Structure 1
Amino acid sequence: MKHPLTLAALTLPLAGNLFADTSPTTLDTVVVTATRTATPATESLASVTVIDRAEIERRQSRSVPDLLRGVPGVTVSQNGGAGQVASVSLRGTNSDHVLVLIDGVRIGSATLGTSPLQDIPIEQIERIEVVRGPRSSLYGSEAIGGVIQIFTRRGGGPLAPRLSVGGGSFGTLSASAGLSGGGENGWFDLGANVERTDGIDACDGRPAPYAGCGVFQNDRDGYRNIGVNVRGGYRFSDWASLDLHLLSSQNRTEFDGTIYGGNRSRSEQQVLGGTLTLQPLSPWTLTLSAGHSWDKYRVYFDDEAAGIDDRFIDSFETERDTFSLQNDLNLAPGQMLTLGLDYTRDSVSGTVDYDKDSRDDVGVFGEYQGAFGPTSLTLSLRQDDDEQFGTHATGSAALGYLFANGIQVSASYGTAFKAPAFNDLYYPNYGNPDLDPEQSHSLELGLRGELPLGTIGQGDWELSLYQTDIDDLIAYDSTSYSAANIQSARILGLEASANARILGWDLGSTLTLLDPENDSDDANDGNLLPRRAEQTFQLDLDRAFDRWSFGATLFVSGRRFDDLANSERLAGYSLVDLRAEYAIDASLRLQARLENAFDEDYETAYLYNRPGRAFYLTLRYEPELP
C-alpha cells in the first residue's frame, strides 16, 4: 500500500529549496471544499490538505483534534484529555473563525460560535478536507481562517462488513462495526462505534483569580462517545442521483468544576442531510441540498461525598436548517461558472433567556474558474443578507501560472467575515445587539512543484506565505461591561510541506511559522494572540516490510501564551509517537500505538493537563474486496 506523506524542513537537503505539500494523499486526489466543485488537488489554487481513510488508519489517530495536529496552519489546544473541549485555529485566527461542515451541512453551536470536533466519531469518517484561507465568498460567515469539511463513510461496491475492537491506557475501551455496499449504481454505509475512557485529571486547578478551571478536584475525568452513521444513495441515470446521510454522536464528559458551573456534561450532535444532483443538459449541473443539525449541551454537578447526584445546572441547544441551490455551467473546456443561493436559519434554546432566539441568512454567490494554457484564474463574489446585521459582501481572486518545469506560482486575495454569536449579541449582562461582524482581508503567495528525486523516488512540495488583517474583533469591554468591537489583529505566516516516497520509505513533514500579533489600540498592542504556537513542525517516517509496517511521528511546538496580556507563558514541547501494524491475513490487522513515548509534560491551555505516555492496541477486520 502506498502511503505518500510529507517532507519538509529536516529533509530539505534532498532537493534544495523544498517546502512541502499539505496533502497526505495521492496526487490525483479530487477536492470539493475549496471551490464547491470537484477539482484535482494539484490544480487547486487554494491551500488544501486532504486526509483519507487509509491515512486515518495508518496514523491510528483516536480523535479529530489528534488527526489535525501537525496539519500546516493548524493550532490545536485542549482542556485536558480525551473528550475535553478542543479549540482548533486555522492560520492564527480564532477558533470561531473556522467553518466546519459535515457532508456539506454546517454544524456547531450558534451560542458559542464553535464546533465540538472532539466529539465527532473518527470511525465514521471517510475523509477530511482542510482549506486554509478566507472562504466567505463561497460559504458566508465563519470562514475567516478557512473551512474544515468532514465526509462520512459512503460505501458502494460489493457487500463488505468491518469490525474493530481496541483498548489501552487510562482504562480505554473501544469497538466499532459497519456494513457497506450498494452495487454498481447504489451506495450505502451503516456504522456504529462506542468508546469509553477513565481519562486523566483534566485540570490542575487553582483558586480565583487564576486561569484554568478555577477549582482543584484530584480525580480522573472520564469520557464516553457513542456514534452512528447511516448514509445511502442511488444513481438513477447519467443525469440524476440522490444521496442521504445521518450522523449522530452522543457524549458524556466529566471535568473539574463547581456546584455553580457543573462538572459533568451530556452532549449530542446530529447531522441530517440530502443532496439531489441533476444534469438537465450536458454543460449544466444542478445541485439541490438541504440539511438540519442539532447541537445539544447539558451541564450537571455530581459530588458523592456531598450527596449530590447529577444536579442539573444549565442547557444550551442549537438547531440549524440549511438549504442550497447550486448551478455549475461548463462554458467551454476549462471554463466553469457557478451560481448559487444558500439559506441558513439558526435557532437556540435552553436555560438562558436570549432577547432573540433565531435568525436567518440568505447568501447569493457566484464563481468563475478558468484555465488559459498555463494560466489559471478563480474569481468569486458573495452577498449575505443577515436578519441581525444586514447585508455584507465578500470576494476573492486567485491567479496561478504553471511553468514548463512543473512549478506553479500563485497569488490570491480574499475578504471574509464572522457574524457575532448569540452569546456575543444577547447573553444576559454581556451581550451587545449593536455589534458589527468581524471582518478580514488576506493576501497569499504560493509555490508548488515536484521533488526532483530521479530514480530513487517521487514526491511533491508546497510553500505558502500569507498575511491576514482582522478588524472589529469582539472582546469584553470593561468600560461598558459588555461585548464590543474593540480589537484587531495582524497575522503573518509561512506554511511549508512536502511528501515523498524514497526507496520504499514514506517520508513527510510540515512546518508552520506564525506571527499572530494583537494590533489593537490598547495595552495589549503588539502581544501575541492567545493559544497560538509561533512554530510547529511535524516529521513522519513509515516503512512496510511484508506483513509488518512501522511508523514514527515527531511533533514539535514552540511557545504560546494563554492570555491577551501574555503574562501566562506555555513552554514549547516535543512529542514522539510510535506505531506498528501486523497483517495476520488479508482481512485481519493488529495495530499498536505508543503515544507521547518519552512522557513529555506539557500544556496547550493554562493549568489544563495533557496525557502522558499511553499505549493502545486495535484489532481490525475488513475482508479484502475482489
Structure 2
Amino acid sequence: MSYSCLSETVRGASRRRALLLALALLPPTLAAQIESDPDASGGGRAISDLDPVVVTATRTAETVDATLAPVSVITRAEIERTQAQSTLGLLRGLPGVVLSNAGGPGRVTELYLRGANPNQVLFLVDGVKVGSATTGQTEFQHLPVSQIERIEVVRGPRSSLYGSEAAGGVVQIFTRRGGGPLTAFGEVTTGRYETAGISGGLRGGGEHGRFSLSGNFDQTEGFNACSGRGAPYFDGCGTDEPDADGYENQGVSASAGYDFADRASVDLSFLSVDSEVEFDGAFQNKARNRQQVAAANVLVRPLDAWDIRITAGRSWDEQRNFKDDAFASRFASRFETRRDTLSVQNDVAIGAEHLVTVGVDYVHDAVGASVAYAEDGRDNVGVFGQYQGWFGPAALKASLRHDDNEQFGSHVTGDVVLGYDLRPNLRATAAYGTAFTAPTFNDLYFPSDPFFAGGNPDLDPEQSRSAEVGLAGRIAALDWSLNLYQMDIDDLITLVPPAYGAENIDEARIRGLEGALAGEVLATEVRAYLTLLDPLNRSAGPDHGKLLPRRPEQTFRLDLDRSFGAIGVGGTLFAAGRRFDDAANAVRLDGYTLLDLRASYAFSDALRVEASVENVFDEEYETVAYYNQPGRGLYLTLRYGRN
C-alpha cells in the first residue's frame, strides 16, 4: 500500500507550494479521483504530475508526501493486485490497525486503530459519516471490495476536524468513480467453502462530466462460526451449533459529477448493500442487514483563492434478527438507525504559503428498534478552524473545534502538528491532540433484561490526549517512516461482565510504535508494516496494569509482488502476537502467522485470470474467543477491465 513518506521534489520551492495550495482547493471527490484517473483535470486544473492525493487528514487535498499526518492509502490497483476477498484482508496489518472477527466473512468485526476502542474510530464513505447510532461502530465487513475505489486510513486524533468518534483516527472509503472513456469492468470469483461472486459495472465521462455504476453478488456456504458451549457455561456464543454458517452480500453503487467550468462542481454518490449472515447464538442465529449511504458534494469558487464546499449526506443501517429462520421474539430483534449530516467548509489560500479553513458541521442521529430506548435522537453542531502554513523547511498545521452536543454539552478539541525537513529526504514531525467520544445509544439506554444489565445513562463522554513524534525518509527507492505515540484516555467506556453493563474506566494508557517501509527492490514491490502496542488499563482495581482486550502487542505484515511480463506473482505474510479476550486477561488468545500466495496472468491489458491461496499453512487461530477463522482456501478470479 502507498504510505505517507516524503519526496525530494516537494522541498522548499515556492512554485511547488503554490501547486499544493491549488490542490488543497480541489473538491475532495475530484482530488481522490486524480490518482485513479490521470486524465482528470478538474476543469483545466491539471495536477496529475503530483504524488498520490489524500483528502482525509486535513479535510483538504494534499499529496501523500506533503501531509504531516501518518496516513496509509489503498488504491484500486493495489486492491486488485492483492486479490483480497474482503475489507478485512485489505486493512489487516496496516500500521496501527488491529482487527477482531467473530467467525469469518460477514460476522461482527471490530477495528482498533492505535489501540483505541472501535467506537473511537470514525468511518466516512465519500465524505459522509457512517456507522450505527446504537453500537457506535461501522459494519465495514459488509462493504464489498468490488465497490471500493480507494481507502485512506489516518492515524491519531482528528476530533478537532471531525468531532466525536475520531479519537483513534479516521478511515475513509471511496466508492467507484467515473471519468475517461466509456469502460466496462467486471469479475467472477469462485473458491473454497462454495464461495462464488460476480460483479461488474460501467464508468465514463467527458470533458466536464463523469459517472459510474456498479453492482455485486457474493455468497459462501461458510464454516462453523463458533466452537462455544451452551448452558450452563455460555462460553463464546452461548450455544453449540456445529453447522456451516453461510453469508450473502449484494450491493449497488452509483456516482455522477459535473464541473461547471472552474467555478463550481457537483458530485453525487449512492451505495446500498444488503447482506444475510448466519451465525451461532442461543437466542438468534441469522441477521439480515442493509447499509445505505447517499452523498452530495458541491464546490463553489467565488474567488481564485476561496473555495466553499458543501457536503450533505445520509447514512442508514437496518438489521433484522432471526432464530432458525423465524423472526426473533426475544431480546432486540430489529434495529434501524439514521445519521443526517450537513457540512459547510471555507478554504482560503493566503499567498502561496498559507491555507485557512473555517467550517461548521451538523449531525442528527436517530434510532428505531423493537425495544424502547429512553432517548431516540440527538443533534450535534461543530464549528472548526484550521491553519496550514509552510515556512522554508518547516510546516505547521493547527486546528481547533467546538462541539455542542445535545446530550453532553460543549467540548473543545484541538490539534497541532509541526514538521521540519532535516535534509531533502528526511522529515521530523511532532504532534499533540485532544479528542472526545460521546457514549452510544446502546451504552446509555439499551434496555435491561434477565441476562444483561443494559445501558447506563450516567456515563460520561470519553476524553483523550495524544502526543506523537515521527521520522520519515527515503533511501534509494524505499520510503520509510517511524511513529512513536502515547494516548491517555479518561472515562474509557467498557462492558463489565458478568451482566455486561456499560461503565467508565477511570484511565487507560496506550503506547505504540509504528514502522513502515515501501518501495521497489530488485524489480519487486515491497511493503512492510510493523506495530508494537502497549494498551494498559491504568484504573485502580483488580484489572490495573492489564492489557485492554483483543489488542495484540505485536503485528507485522510483509507484501511482495513482482511481474514477469504478463505473469504476476506475490504473497502476503501476516503475524500477530498474543492477545486477551477479557479485561482480566484470564482468556488468552495465542499469536498466529498467516501466509497468502497469489498469481495472475494477463491475456491482454483488460483481461486476466487470478489465483490465490489464503492461509497456506491452514493455521487455526482466534481473534475472538471460541470463534473460528477460515482455513486454507484456493480462490480463482477472472477479471475484465482496467483499474
TM-score, normalised by the number of residues in structure 2: 0.90
Aligned to 1:267: 289
In structure 2, relative to structure 1, the CA distance for the partners of 1:480 and 1:392 (3 Å cut) is farther
Residue 175 to residue 219, structure 1, CA distance change in 2 (3 Å): same
Give 1:488 deviation, angstroms: 2.0
Residue 382 of structure 1 pairs with residue 401 of structure 2: yes
Q: 1:299 aligns with which of 303, 321, 326?
A: 321
Match for residue 49 of structure 1 among 52, 72, 87: 72
Is 1:350 the equivalent of 2:374? no
**Which residue is 1:604 aligned to?**
623
1:202–1:6 distance in 2 versus 1, CA, 3 Å: farther
**CA drift at 1:480:** 11
- Which residue of the partner structure matches residue 484 of structure 1? 503
SS at match of 2:444: helix
Name the residue aligned to 2:21: none
Give the superposition deviation at 1:312: 5.3
Give the secondary structure class of the aligned counterpart of 2:280: strand
Query: In 2 relative to 1, CA 599–383 (structure 1 residues): closer, same or farther, beyond 3 Å?
Result: same
- Structure 2: distance between partners of 1:365 and 1:4: 29
Label 1:226 to 1:256 Cα distance change in 2 as closer, same or farther (>3 A): same
After superposition, the C-alpha distances for 1:79-127 in whole angstroms (9 at most, x for unaligned) are 0111111111100111111000000111111111100010011111110
Query: Shift of residue 481 of structure 1?
Result: 8.7
Classify the secondary structure of the residue corresponding to 2:119.
helix
Correspondences of 1:231-310 after superposition (within 5 Å) = 231-258=255-282, 261-302=283-324, 309-310=326-327
> Which residue number corresponds to residue 579 of structure 1?
598
Q: Alignment partner of 1:475: what SS? A: strand
Question: Is the contact between residue 5 and residue 506 of structure 1 (CA under 8 Å) also seen in structure 2?
Answer: no
The answer to whether the aligner puts 1:408 opposite 2:430 as a matched pair is: no
Instruction: Look up the SS of the partner of 1:34 in the other structure.
Output: coil
Counterpart of 2:455 in 1: which secondary structure? coil
How many pairs were matched up? 594
Selected match of 1:594 from 602, 613, 634: 613
Q: 1:138: which partner in 2? A: 161
| Alpha-carbon spacing, 1:478–1:512, altered in 2? closer, same or farther (3 Å) | closer
- AA partner of residue 300 (structure 2): L
SS of the residue 2:631 aligns to:
coil
> For 1:570-603, what per-residue CA distance to the aligned partner results, in whole angstroms no more than 9, with x for missing partners?
0000000000000012211101010000100111
Corresponding residue for 1:178? 201
> Using a 3 Å threshold, how does the CA distance of structure 1 residues 476 and 572 change in structure 2: closer, same or farther?
closer
Q: Match of 1:144, as an amino acid?
A: A
8 A Cα contact 1:472 1:488, kept in partner? yes
Letter paired with 1:276: V
In structure 1, what is the Cα distance between the partners aligned to 2:205 and 2:630?
A: 41
| Counterpart contact for 1:5–1:509, Cα < 8 Å | no
2:472 aligned partner: 448
The 1:482/1:255 distance shift into structure 2, 3 A limit, reads closer
C-alpha separation in 1, matches of 2:423 and 2:121: 36
Deviation of 1:479 after TM superposition, in Å, equals: 12
Match of 2:378 among 359, 369, 381: 359
Question: Do the aligned partners of 2:4 and 2:70 also contact (CA within 8 Å) in 1?
Answer: no
Render the CA deviation track for 1:471-522: whole Å, top value 9, x for unaligned. Answer: 0112346899953323421001000011121221111210000000111111
Aligned pair 1:527/2:580, yes or no? no
Deviations 1:340-360 (A, max 9, x none): 000000000011101110000
Whether contact under 8 Å (1:477, 1:486) holds in the other structure is no
Tell me the distance in 2 between the aligned counterparts of 1:481 and 1:37. Answer: 41
Residue number in structure 2 paired with 1:432:
456
Question: How far apart, in 2, do the equivalents of 1:503 and 1:5 lie?
Answer: 20
Match of 2:523, as an amino acid?
G
Of the structure 1 ranges 50-59 and 429-438, higher mean CA displacement relative to structure 2 is found in: 429-438
Q: Normalization by structure 1: what TM-score?
A: 0.92
Q: Residue 61 of structure 1: which of 73, 77, 84 is its match?
A: 84
Contact 2:558–2:573 under 8 Å retained in 1: yes
Structure 1 residue 475 and structure 2 residue 494: aligned? yes
The one of 184, 198, 223 equivalent to 2:221 is: 198
The answer for the alignment partner of 2:349 in structure 1 is 330
Q: Distance in 1 between matches of 2:185 and 2:558?
A: 31
The amino acid that maps onto 1:160 is: T
Conserved? CA contact 1:465–1:493, under 8 Å: yes
- Kindly indicate whether residue 242 of structure 2 is the aligned counterpart of residue 214 of structure 1: no
* Structure 2 SS opposite 1:43: coil
Inter-CA distance 158–65: structure 2 relative to 1 (3 Å threshold): same
Amino acid at match of 1:460: D
C-alpha deviation, 1:247, in angstroms: 0.3
The residue number in structure 1 matching 2:28 is none
Letter in 2 for 1:505: T
Residue of structure 2 equivalent to 1:13: none
- Give the CA deviation at 1:623: 5.7
Contact persistence 1:186–1:233 (CA under 8 A): yes
Are residues 4 and 106 of structure 1, via their aligned partners in 2, closer, same or farther at CA, if it must alter by over 3 Å? Answer: closer
1:311, CA displacement in angstroms?
4.7
Once the two structures are superposed, what CA deviation does each residue of 1:446-466 show, in whole Å capped at 9, x if it has no partner? 100101x3xxxx121010000
Q: Which residue of 1 aligns with 2:184?
A: 161
Which stretch shows the higher mean deviation, 490-499 or 501-510?
Answer: 501-510
Following the alignment from structure 2 to structure 1, what is the Cα–Cα distance between the partners of residues 120 and 578? 22
1:394 maps to 2:416: no
- Residues 229-263 of structure 1 show CA distances to partners (whole Å, capped at 9, x for unaligned) of 010010011010000000000000000012xx310
Flag the 1:99–1:549 CA change in 2: closer, same or farther, 3 A.
same
Give the distance between the partners of 1:486 and 1:411, measured in 2 at CA: 28
Higher relative contact order (CA 8 A, sep 6+): 1
Task: Give 3-state SS (helix, strand or coil) of 1:112's partner.
Answer: coil
Change (3 A) 1:49 1:476: closer
Q: CA-to-partner distance for each residue in 1:321-367, whole Å, 9 max, x for gaps?
A: 00000000001212000000000000000111011100000000000
Structural mapping, 1:555-570, within 5 Å: 555-570=574-589
**Contact 1:475 1:487 (C-alpha < 8 Å) held by counterparts:** no
Q: Would you say 1:503 and 2:519 are equivalent positions?
A: no
- Cross-structure match for 2:9: none
Residue 16 of structure 1 corresponds to which residue in structure 2?
none
Q: What amino acid is aligned across from residue 158 of structure 1 in structure 2?
A: P
Task: Report if aligned partners of 1:132, 1:146 keep a CA contact under 8 Å in 2.
Answer: yes
Write the distance in 2 (CA, Å) between the matches of 1:484 and 1:617.
47
Percent of matched pairs sharing the same residue: 53
Partner of 1:12: none
Matches within 5 A, 1:9-48: 28-48=51-71
Q: Matched residues in 2 for 1:480 and 1:165: separation?
A: 46
- Structure 2 distance, partners of 1:51, 1:615, is 24
Query: Residue 147 of structure 1 aligns with which residue?
Result: 170
The CA deviation at 1:399 is 0.4
Residue 27 (structure 1) shift:
8.2
Runs of 5+ unmatched residues, structure 1: 8-23, 303-307
After TM superposition, the structure 1 = structure 2 runs for residues 30-109 of structure 1, keeping only pairs within 5 Å, are 30-109=53-132
Consecutive unaligned residues of structure 2, counting only runs of 5 or more, are: 6-34, 37-48, 449-453
Q: Indicate conservation of the 8 Å contact 1:6/1:500, yes or no.
A: no
**Displacement of 1:540:** 1.3
**More displaced stretch, 235-244 vs 498-507:** 498-507
